[in-house]
Amino acid sequence: MRHPIFLALLILSFAHLSKPTTSVVAAERPNFIFIYTDDQRWDALGCVQREQGDQARFPWLQSPNLDRLASEGIRFRNAFVVTALCAPSRAAFLTGRYGHLNGIIDNHSPFNENSVTHASLMRAAGYQTAYIGKWHMGSQNGQRPGFDFSASFIGQGVYFDCPMEVNGVKTESKGWVDDVSTDYAIDFITKSKDKPFSLVLGYKTCHGPFTPPPRTESLYTDAEARAVPNLSKTAIYRQNAAAQNPTKPSAAPSQPGKTNLGMFRGLHAIDENVGKLLTTLDQLGLTENTVVVYSSDNGYYLGEHGLGDKRSAYEESMRVPMLIRYPKLIKPNRTIDEMVLNIDLAPTWLELAGLPVPAEMQGRSWKPLLSETESDKPWRQSFLYNYFLERGFQVPTIAAVRTTSAKLVKYPGHEEWTEMFDLQKDPYEINNIYNDPNHLELRKKLEAEYEQQVAATGYRIPDFADEKKPAAPVVSSGPREFINGVVLKYRFTKDEGQRTLDESPFKNHGRVVGTKLSVGQKGKAARQFDGKGHIEVPLSSSLDPSRTPFSITASIMAEADGIILARGGQSLGYALHIADGKPTFAYRTLSGITTIASPKACIGEWTTVKARVSDKKTLLLEVNGQQVAEAPLKDLIPRNPNDGLQIGADLGSFVLGEERPSFRGLMENVSMQMGKE
C-alpha cells in the first residue's frame, strides 16, 4: 500500500521536533518482529530460573535482555509447540495450521511457496516483510516465500562465515552467523522505520554443534545443572533398547551434574543480540508501536527420560519460551498461565494488524489475553500434539492431548506404550497411570478429550508421511569427488592461539574450545582435555563420509570414559569413544547403529586407536596396531550428516542416542583418511 505524499511531507516537516522521531506511519499500524531460536528449552531464561528458586535447574543462567523483554510485556508460562521439530514448528508459526494440513511434518520437505502465511497476507495489505536467518525447510533455497526481503541460508548453515542468500543471491558473510543475521535485521528495521513492517528473525542457536562466538565461549565455567527426578526415567518407547544396553544415569536425583554449556553460552550471545534489536527500536522511536515476540521452534532434552534432542511429547520437548511486548496495548511485567501455541502467532499478528484471520487458521489470537478484556469464548483447556515418524530416527509416531493439568500420549501401533500423567502431582512425568484402576475417571476424560481434539484438528497420518511411503532408494549426497588420502591431521605442534592447524592438504583447521596445550609421550605436543572442552572442526566436502571407506586414528591417554571424536547425529554419523574403559566405535546408517569394541580397557595408558570402515562394508577396530574387533555393515552412510564434527565431544543430536561424557585426558594426534588404504 502506497502512503499519500502528504504523510511523507508531514514526517519530514516534524522530524526536527523530537529525537528520536516516531513516524506517522508507525502511529497508524503496528510493526511486528518475531525472534526465535532453535532448540531452546522453555526454562532456558534467567527470569524463569529465578522464579523457580531452589528448583531451578540452571540457577547460574543470565539473560538480562530477554528478562527485560519479559518485564516490559508478558511471559507466557505455558507455551507449547504442536510438533516439537524444527521445520514443522516453523511452518506452524507461519501458517497457523498443523503440519498434516500445511504440508510440513518433517525436516526434509520444502515449504510450499503458495502457502497462506501471516507474511503473505500482511505483505498484500501493504506491510514491508522480511525473513532473516535460519529457514530450515529441507534444503530449500532462494527468496523466502511471502517476504519482500530475505537474507537466509540453506539448511543448517554453519556457525562461522556462513554463506547467505540475500534475496536468493549467494552472498559471503564473516563472523558468527547469528551476529550476521542480527545486523541484517537492524538494517531492515532502519530502512523500514517509516513504513509498517513485519520481520521474522530465525537464529541458528542453540542447535548442535552448540558453538558460541568467542566472546561467550568461556562463560559459566564449572557450572552444573541441578539434577531432576526424570533423568533416570527412560522414555517408554526406548525401554527395550535401554534394557539391552543398560547405562548408568548421568546423576542421582539429588546430585548436580554436567550439562551442555555450549547451548547456554550461545544463548547468552543471542541475548546480547536481542538487546541490540531493542536498542535499535528505542533509538528509532519504534518501541511503543512495535509488537515483539520471542520464542523457539521446540524444546530440548538435556538427559530427561534418558534423551537428547526433541520430537517426543514429554514437557521438555514440547514447551518453549514465549515472550511478547507491545507497549501500546500490553501492561508491563505480566505473566499468563493460559496455554498458548505456536499456531497462535499468525492469527494474533493478523488481528493486531487489523486484518481478517482466515477460517483455515487453527490457532487463536492472543488479543483478549493481551488486553485483559473479557471474551465470550473461554480460553483453550486442551490441545493436540503430534509427531510423525521420520526414517532414520528413533522416535515413533505420536499423538497426545495435553490439558491444563494432565496428559495422554498415544503411540499408534503400540498401544502398550500409551502413557497418562497427572501433571499437577507428577510434573516430571515419572508415573504412568494409564492402567492404574484408581485413575479410570481421568483416563475416560482424557480419552474423550483426545477424540474431540482429533476431530477438531482433522488429525490423520497423511499420505506424505515417511511411514506411508514405500521404502525409498538410498539418498546420497549427490555427485562429488571421492578422495583417497589424508583429509585431517592434527599433531598440535604448530597451533595458533585458539586454532588447531590441519597438516593435511585440505586445511581443515579446528577451533579450540576449552582445551590447552600440554606434553605427551617423549616430549611430544599434546592437547589436554578436561571433560568440558573440545575442538570444533568446520565442515567441508573433504570430510564427507558418505558412500566411501574411511579411517580415524587417534593417539590418546584417557582418564575416563568419553568421546574421542564424533560426527553426525541420531540419523547418520559415527563416534569413536571410550565406553566401560574400552575403545569403541559406533557407525550409524539408515538401517541402524553398528558398534564394535575392544575386549581390553585402555584407561591410564597411552593407546593408539584406529577405527575403519572398509570398502567391503566391514567395520574394523585396531588398538596399538592389532585388530581387536570387526562387524559387517548392511549399508554405508548415504549422505553427508547434518551435524558437525567435534574432537573430544559429541555436541549434535548424539550419534549414540544419548549424551555421553566428553573426553578427559591427553591426545597427541588425530587423523582421518578417506578412501581405500
CATH number at residue 447: 3.30.1120.10
Predicted local distance difference test score (pLDDT) of residue 591: 80
Predicted local distance difference test score (pLDDT) of residue 478: 56
Query: What nine digits make up the cell of 317?
Result: 520437548
Predicted local distance difference test score (pLDDT) of residue 23: 37
Give the residue numbers spanning the domain of 202.
Answer: 26-371
How far is it, in rounded angstroms, from Cα 307 to Cα 301? 6
- In this prediction, residue 498 has a pLDDT band, given cuts at 50, 70 and 90, of confident
Is 30 found in the same domain as 146?
Answer: yes
Per residue in 171-180, pLDDT (tens digit) is 999 999 999 9
Residue 305 is classified by DSSP as G
Q: Which of 438, 468, 498 marks a domain boundary?
A: 468
Is 438 found in the same domain as 496?
Answer: no
pLDDT higher than 50, residue 11: no
- Give residue 530's identity as a one-letter amino acid code: D
Supply the CATH number for residue 502's domain: 2.60.120.200
- Mean pLDDT score, 539-545: 90
Is 310 found in the same domain as 253?
Answer: yes
Cα dist from 7 to 14, 198, 483, whole Å: 11, 20, 63
How far is it, in rounded angstroms, from Cα 535 to Cα 543? 15
- Give residue 500's identity as a one-letter amino acid code: T
How far is it, in rounded angstroms, from Cα 405 to Cα 382? 9
Q: Which of 348, 371, 394 marks a domain boundary?
A: 371
Predicted local distance difference test score (pLDDT) of residue 244: 54
Other C-beta atoms lying within 10 Å of the C-beta of residue 50: 13
Specify the pTM.
Answer: 0.77
Residue 611 CA neighbour count, 13 Å, CB half: 23
Yes or no: say if 129 and 146 are a contact pair by the CB < 8 Å rule.
yes
- Mean pLDDT score, 450-457: 98
Predicted local distance difference test score (pLDDT) of residue 489: 97
- In this prediction, residue 391 has a pLDDT band, given cuts at 50, 70 and 90, of confident
Helix or strand or coil: residue 453? Answer: helix
As a residue count, the chain comes to 677
Predicted local distance difference test score (pLDDT) of residue 243: 63
Residue 10 within a domain: no
Yes or no: say if 524 and 571 are a contact pair by the CB < 8 Å rule.
no
pLDDT higher than 90, residue 676: no
Predicted local distance difference test score (pLDDT) of residue 210: 87
Helix or strand or coil: residue 358? Answer: coil
Is 198 found in the same domain as 166?
Answer: yes
Q: Which of 412, 434, 468 marks a domain boundary?
A: 468
- In this prediction, residue 253 has a pLDDT band, given cuts at 50, 70 and 90, of low
Predicted local distance difference test score (pLDDT) of residue 284: 98
Residue 479 within a domain: no
Residue 77 within a domain: yes
Query: Which of 253-262, 275-284, 474-483: highest mean pLDDT?
Result: 275-284
Residue 33 within a domain: yes
pLDDT higher than 90, residue 200: yes
Q: At what angle do helices 345-352 and 86-95 cross, to 10 degrees?
A: 30
Other C-beta atoms lying within 10 Å of the C-beta of residue 4: 8
Residue 378 within a domain: no
Predicted local distance difference test score (pLDDT) of residue 12: 31
How far is it, in rounded angstroms, from Cα 434 to Cα 166? 51
pLDDT higher than 90, residue 411: yes
Answer with the residue of higher pLDDT: 100 or 157: 100
Task: Scan for cell 548415504, then name that residue.
Answer: 638
Query: What nine digits make up the cell of 238?
Result: 526406548
pLDDT higher than 70, residue 251: no
Query: What nine digits make up the cell of 445?
Result: 476424560
Predicted local distance difference test score (pLDDT) of residue 18: 35
How far is it, in rounded angstroms, from Cα 38 to Cα 299? 8
pLDDT higher than 70, residue 471: no
Mean model confidence pLDDT for the chain = 90
Per residue in 321-340, pLDDT (tens digit) is 999 999 999 999 999 999 99
**44-48, 194-198, 462-466, 470-474: segment of lowest average pLDDT:** 470-474
Answer with the residue of higher pLDDT: 266 or 156: 266
Query: What nine digits make up the cell of 500?
Result: 588447531
Yes or no: say if 311 and 65 are a contact pair by the CB < 8 Å rule.
no
Predicted local distance difference test score (pLDDT) of residue 121: 98
Predicted local distance difference test score (pLDDT) of residue 492: 95
Q: Domain tally for the chain?
A: 3
Is 545 found in the same domain as 501?
Answer: yes
Is 190 found in the same domain as 109?
Answer: yes
For a pLDDT cut of 70, what percent of the chain falls above it?
92
**Pick from 329, 323, 328, 366: nearest CA to 346:** 366
Whether the bond between 209 and the residue before it is cis, its omega within 30 degrees of 0, is yes
How far is it, in rounded angstroms, from Cα 579 to Cα 563? 9
Query: What nine digits make up the cell of 171?
Result: 552472498
- In this prediction, residue 26 has a pLDDT band, given cuts at 50, 70 and 90, of very low
Predicted local distance difference test score (pLDDT) of residue 405: 98
Is 660 found in the same domain as 573?
Answer: yes
Predicted local distance difference test score (pLDDT) of residue 480: 64
Query: What nine digits make up the cell of 426?
Result: 507428577
- Mean pLDDT score, 297-318: 95
Name the strand (E) or helix (H) holding 519.
strand 516-519
pLDDT higher than 60, residue 249: no
Is 69 found in the same domain as 212?
Answer: yes
Per residue in 632-641, pLDDT (tens digit) is 999 999 988 8
How far is it, in rounded angstroms, from Cα 28 to Cα 188? 20
Is 599 found in the same domain as 521?
Answer: yes
pLDDT higher than 80, residue 554: yes
How far is it, in rounded angstroms, from Cα 125 to Cα 471? 44
Is 428 found in the same domain as 571?
Answer: no
- Mean pLDDT score, 610-614: 97
Residue 476 within a domain: no
Written as one string, the DSSP assignment of 318-337 is HB--EEEE-TTTPPSSEEE-
pLDDT higher than 50, residue 283: yes
Residue 170 within a domain: yes
Between β-strands 499-500 and 525-530, what pairing exists: parallel, antiparallel or unpaired? unpaired
Per residue in 121-139, pLDDT (tens digit) is 999 999 999 999 999 998 8
Written as one string, the DSSP assignment of 563-575 is EEEEEE-SSSEEE
Residue 410 within a domain: yes
Is 390 found in the same domain as 321?
Answer: no
Is 320 found in the same domain as 270?
Answer: yes
